[in-house]
Structure 1
Amino acid sequence: MSTLLTLHPPTPSDRQPPFTGLLSQRCPDAAAVPRRRLGAIFGPPVLAASALGSGLDHPVVVVLDVAPDTLPSDGPAVARFDIDCSLEQLDDAIELSLSGESNPHPLTAPLAVFVAPDDHAEAGWAAEVATRIADAGAYPGLRAGPSPDEVADFLAVLAHSDAGFVARAASGAEALAILAATVAALRGDDVRAAFAAPDPTRVAGLNQDAAEALRTVLLSIEVDDAEGAERHLAAHGITATAAP
């Protein structure tokens, strides 16, 4: 039996369309931010910390490719921080989201942690990593180009926790696959099959309550080709609105 439609009680009629801000465009430099794709389906753009400048007046997602304490004090508002790390670096990455003596300069916005496995990663590593990141109060990150097994292990944790996750997609097709897999995880369906052969009608046909339940788990999908991703999703009926 599906659990997706019963995750939340009724909410007011003035709520936002559920797919508002679903996609975040990854920008190569600060000059690309003002030229980014606009529309209701787009959230804050993503920019490397080393590319930040003082002229940006839009909130951004900041990828930590430099030490957090070197960020400009007059930089833009930060909607979220991202960090990429290896399995060996995971403890250090998680520590950035904590406060206390071990981290005298805690981050000023939520942190999403994207972990790249190495050749020695054991089966089930994605579930273990997602659990550790979520338990630390950060957002697990689902990297672009994951395998169906990795997605299934990852979502087995996130679909039944209070933590949301952030994904990266190499294409509009992969963004659709991530959406379909998340729906499958919430419904208790076959996540591997949904990711490998997504059925867009399962996503496009969600009513507002179900789509909002989906968004409490899948917070954002970062994309390089924002126009292509938006076009691909729209072609399958997935826009910044939901079915009635």
Structure 2
Amino acid sequence: MAGIARASWDYREDVPIPLTLGVPHRPDPNALVAGLLQPFCADAPAVQAAPRAADYGPPVVLASTLLTLPPTENLGRIVVRLDIDPDELRASSAGNYEAVRFEVDAVPEHLADALGLRLPSPLVVFPVFDAIDVAETAETIVAAHRTPGIGVGDTARRIADVLAVVSHADVGLVARADTGDEVIAILAATVASLRGDDIASALAAPNVDALRKLIPEAAEAVREVLLGVEIADAVAARARLVDVGLIASGTSTT
């Protein structure tokens, strides 16, 4: 993945035209973030109101919320945040849905238990990094074939350590953000990690123009690392991405 990514960071004006392949694809300002924003739903009304357009990924729903929904409720594709015992969820007749991923928060003393969970879909583990080695923890998660998660509001050093691990793995990363600007920051940081640039600088001052100019192959390489960004107000985050030109203003929002 790193080799592919590193070979595709050129922007439109720098890309040669291979005679055997024809004209390269034009950069798509929406390709980098299409399906990346994942609305976090804290309760049943939020689940029902979650935006479902192409710009949004599957909403993140608390497992405890699923228990409150009738079996006839069709939620489609979702991410399940485990705030209850998975066995309790399995034993229920919760609403009709397809869990594309599960996720769990894990303090250090429960990390091994979290990594040992047996689930029907991939698992994202958001470890509590306080007083533990961040890179070592990320490596442990990756070695267990799980996906690490981290909040964009965490320290630049921790984010850099996690990105340094996942940029050379095949499990990806899921981030949690509070604002559209944080979404932009983690996109820029992911690009920096793949290019070998300074991640802290990318987080502090994202180069939005460079993000807009990424060719499709480069955008795909970023998406292979950054699987999703969970955010409560995904609509506002999308509006911010429209403002800076990462999403075309004329695309659908519902």
TM-score (norm. length: structure 2): 0.81
Alignment match, 2:5: 4
Deviations 1:182-219 (A, max 9, x none): 00000111111101111111212111110001000000
1:4·1:183 contact (CA, 8 Å) conserved in 2? no
Alignment match, 2:162: 154
Cα displacement (A) at 1:89: 1.2
Cα displacement (A) at 1:35: 1.2
Partners of 1:167 and 1:45 in 2: CA distance: 14
Higher relative contact order (CA 8 A, sep 6+): 2
Alignment match, 1:94: 115
Alignment match, 2:82: 64
- Structure 1 or 2, whichever has the larger Rg, is 2
The counterpart of 1:110, out of the listed 122, 132, 139, is 122
Alignment of 1:115-194 (within 5 A): 115-118=127-130, 121-122=131-132, 125-194=133-202
* 2:7 partner letter: T
Partners of 2:183 and 2:173 in 1: CA distance: 14
Change (3 A) 1:232 1:207: same
* 1:126 partner letter: V
Partners of 2:85 and 2:7 in 1: CA distance: 42
Alignment match, 2:14: none
The counterpart of 2:106, out of the listed 48, 62, 85, is 85
Alignment gaps of 5+ in structure 2:
10-20, 250-254
Deviations 1:53-94 (A, max 9, x none): 221332211100001111134532111101011122111111
Q: Secondary structure at the match of 2:109?
A: coil
2:242·2:248 contact (CA, 8 Å) conserved in 1? no
* 1:137 partner letter: H
TM-score (norm. length: structure 1): 0.84
Cα displacement (A) at 1:21: 1.1
The counterpart of 2:220, out of the listed 201, 212, 236, is 212
1:17·1:240 contact (CA, 8 Å) conserved in 2? no
* 1:235 partner letter: D
Alignment match, 2:13: none
Partners of 1:240 and 1:88 in 2: CA distance: 45
Partners of 2:143 and 2:187 in 1: CA distance: 23
Partners of 2:52 and 2:80 in 1: CA distance: 18
Deviates more, 1:31-40 or 1:20-29: 31-40
1:115·1:143 contact (CA, 8 Å) conserved in 2? no
1:171·1:229 contact (CA, 8 Å) conserved in 2? yes
Alignment gaps of 5+ in structure 1:
97-105
* 1:238 partner letter: L
Alignment match, 1:103: none
* 2:56 partner letter: F
